[in-house]
Structure 1
Amino acid sequence: MEENIKIKKNKVLSNNWGKLNEITFDIRTKVGDWEEQTRESYDTGDGATVLLYNKSTKMIVLTRQFRLPTYLNHNTNGYLTEACA
C-alpha cells in the first residue's frame, strides 16, 4: 500500500494533564503531490465509549456534559449530548 502521510517533526508544546503536540507532516494530495501541513494534537491517552441500550424501553442512554472547548467555539451553553465514556 502506498504511503500517504509522512511525519516530519513532533514537538511537545505542553505535558500537563495531557500532552499537546505540534506535528509537522507531509500529506499526499489527490493529484499525487506532497504538501506540508502542521497541526496540534492533544493526547490524553486512549479512550472508550459505551452505547447503553435499555431493552425494555428500547432506548439508548446518553449523558449531557459541559465541554469548555465547545463553549469557546460559540456553543452558547457549552453542553454536549454524548455517549457514556
Structure 2
Amino acid sequence: MMGQNVHIRATEILARGKGIAKKVTFDYEAHDGQTVVNTREVYEIDDAVAVIPFDPERGTVLLTRQFRLPAWLSGYRGSLIEACAGKLEGDDPQTRIVHEAEEELGYRLHDLQKAFDLFSSPGNTTETVSCYVALYSPANKVSEGGGLHEEGEHIEVLELPLHAAFNMVETGAIRDAKTVALLQHTQLRFAKSVAAPAFTSGR
C-alpha cells in the first residue's frame, strides 16, 4: 500500500502565521515498488468543523455568505455561499460548531449528528474538516448572527429551501466543496422530510 514507507528528507519553514508554510522533500514507496522522491509546499493549519442546520418542518437550511480573498484572487467575483464553519482552536468539534453557529447564524442548534470528516485540499494543506448536520427551528433563534466584526467577520445569514440550495450548486452559485458535500448528505439523511431536488437542465 502506498504511503506506508515515507521518509522525510528535509523540511524548510517558508512562513509562519495562523499556520506554517513548509517546503518538504520526502520519498515514499509507490504502488509498483519504486522509490519516488518529491518536494512539495505544505500548509500546516488548525483543523476545522462545519455544519448545515436543517428545519424538517419547513425543509430549509441555514447557510452563510461572505467575501473570501483567495476565491477573489483566483478570479471569482462573488461572495461565497458556505456552510457555517470555524477552526477548532483547541475545542472538540461539537463544542466548537455549536459556538460558531450561535456567532455566525444566530441559532442554537440541537440534534447535532456527525456526517463525515474530509480533507479540505489534501494536495497542499493538512486541514481536516469535521462535518455535521443539525436541526433548528425559528424558535431556536438567539441573535441576528453575522460573526464577530472585531475579527473581520461580516457574514450574511441565508435561509433557503434545501431544493433551492441544490439548484445553486448546479448553477455554480454554491461551489465550496464542504458545503456541496454537506448539502448532499443532508438530502440523504433527511430524504423523507423533503422532496427530491429539482435540478436545472444545463447551464
Q: Could you state the TM-score of these two structures normalised by the residue count of structure 2?
A: 0.35
Match for residue 60 of structure 2? 59
1:24-79: per-residue Cα shift (whole Å, max 9, x none)?
2224434332222222222331211112212222232221222211222222x153
Cα distance in 1 for partners of 2:29, 2:79 equals 37
Cα distance 1:84–1:23, how it changes in 2: closer, same or farther (>3 A)?
same
Deviates more, 1:48-57 or 1:23-32: 23-32
- Alignment coverage as a number of residue pairs: 84
Which secondary structure state, in structure 2, belongs to the residue aligned with residue 49 of structure 1? strand
Which secondary structure state, in structure 2, belongs to the residue aligned with residue 23 of structure 1? strand
Q: Write the letter of the residue equivalent to 1:72.
A: L
Match for residue 29 of structure 1? 30
Q: Percent identity?
A: 36
Which secondary structure state, in structure 1, belongs to the residue aligned with residue 72 of structure 2? helix
Cα distance in 2 for partners of 1:5, 1:79 equals 40
Q: In the TM superposition, what is the alpha-carbon distance from 1:14 to its structure 2 partner?
A: 1.0
Q: Write the letter of the residue equivalent to 1:47.
A: A
Which secondary structure state, in structure 2, belongs to the residue aligned with residue 37 of structure 1? strand
Q: Write the letter of the residue equivalent to 2:79.
A: Y
RMSD (Å) for aligned C-alpha atoms: 2.4
* 5+ long unaligned stretches in structure 1: none
* 5+ long unaligned stretches in structure 2: 86-203
Cα distance in 1 for partners of 2:84, 2:67 equals 13
Please give the residue correspondences for 1:6-85 in structure 2 after superposition, counting only pairs within 5 Å: 6-75=7-76, 77=77, 79-85=79-85
Deviates more, 1:2-11 or 1:58-67: 2-11
Greater helix percent: which structure?
Answer: 2
Greater strand percent: which structure?
Answer: 1
Cα distance in 1 for partners of 2:58, 2:6 equals 46
